[in-house]
Amino acid sequence: MTETLAPAVVPLRRRGPIFTEKAFYLEEFYGKSLLFAVVPPIGSRLVEFDALVKTLRELRRNQTRCIVVAAAAALPKLTQRLGRLCPRGEVPQFNPSRGRRSRPYPPDSAVAAIWQRLRAGSIVLAATAGGDADDLVVFARELASRLRVFKLLFLDRGGGLTGPDGNRLPFVELKRLRRVIASERTPLRRAIIRAARLALEDGVASINLTAPRDVYEEVFSFIGAGTLFTEHQYGDVRPIAIDDFEEAEALIRRGQDEGFLLPRSDEAIAALLPSCFGYRIGDEHLAGIVSLLTEPYRRERAGEITALYTLTRFQREGVAQELIARVLEEARERRLRYVFACTSEERAARFFSRLGFRRVSAKEVSGVKWRAYDRARIARLSIFRRDL
């Protein structure tokens, strides 16, 4: 078990029901509009809509507006699977090959029709004539851009993107998309990524690409199951606000559950929150967290770096390094003499060594740290210090 542990890649695995994370996303999506693009040939099998229907049911209860675009051929199975969730009335159909040269597109009348249906119920279906996947992708992108939806989700059987090593790319920012497009082999996948790039440039906040069976996990979990596209590289590090405390506490508990952080009581976690810095991805969730604890060590003008944790989705994106860089900046502003961190994991030790920390003995950091501390556990710790 660790005092604080540098992030490491955790094997992706199926988890049980996600409650805390889902609550954060539901709060994020409350009153917002999400557009789901069901890319053909999805829809030939009824089971392919199971995860989507489960997602829509949660979002409707949350008063999130949902627009689902599917090919006309997929409508019978989609409406059957939706059951009572299915909106009443005729589903509007669009021919993406017509009218795209005129602006605005889709025209005002189409936007007004979608809004009237959203006012009548929080789920709206729209269909594209024919079964051409490229046409649906382009139309969904145009519609998402015109409506400036909060999030656009492409559901494709191929799921999220993978890198040259075969591992999933959980996160891609706008500036990398052209390179990613060139690496894709199939025209449809290139079209989806191109559509994601154009939607981001048009002001859509974020785009997700995921397999239909994984859409629930992609929407409601921090780890996700597909690829998230955003405009900016990542986010920024800043002290967390009190409205972030609940989310930060959940991150710390997640780190404890995964074995990355030392188990703490509710009181101990509460004591860390006022000194926490968070890495926030745009307007979405915290991607990482760290605490610079100084109050116990104020006489020595020292600070302890603890509760460092980064979500799996962003562990390869340099978030942990940026958190530490911001903490060191803060420590200098507070005129601290030094900061220190403790870990029992070798990979965490390598992490701190790479960042210029030196390994020291327990006597070289504040003795306050070791009050009522188990001596046997001290012997198992690697202690790192950085003078400022």
Q: Which two tokens stand for residue 181?
A: 């497009």
Angle at 21 between CA 15 and CA 24, to 5 degrees: 165
Amino acid identity at 60: R
Position 315 scores a pLDDT of 64
SS3 (DSSP) at 68 = strand
- Residue 287 near residue 250, CB atoms below 8 Å: no
Output 28 or 233, whichever has higher pLDDT: 28
Do 20-220 and 236-387 fold alike per CATH? no
- Range 236-387 has CATH code 1.20.1740.10: no
| Residue in 152, 139, 147 with CA at minimum distance from that of residue 100 | 139
Output 179 or 75, whichever has higher pLDDT: 75
Output 284 or 8, whichever has higher pLDDT: 284
- Range 20-220 has CATH code 3.40.50.920: no
Domain boundary assignment for the chain: 20-220, 236-387
Mean pLDDT of 240-249: 88
Model confidence pLDDT, tens digit, residues 84-95: 888 888 888 888
Model confidence pLDDT, tens digit, residues 311-320: 766 666 678 8
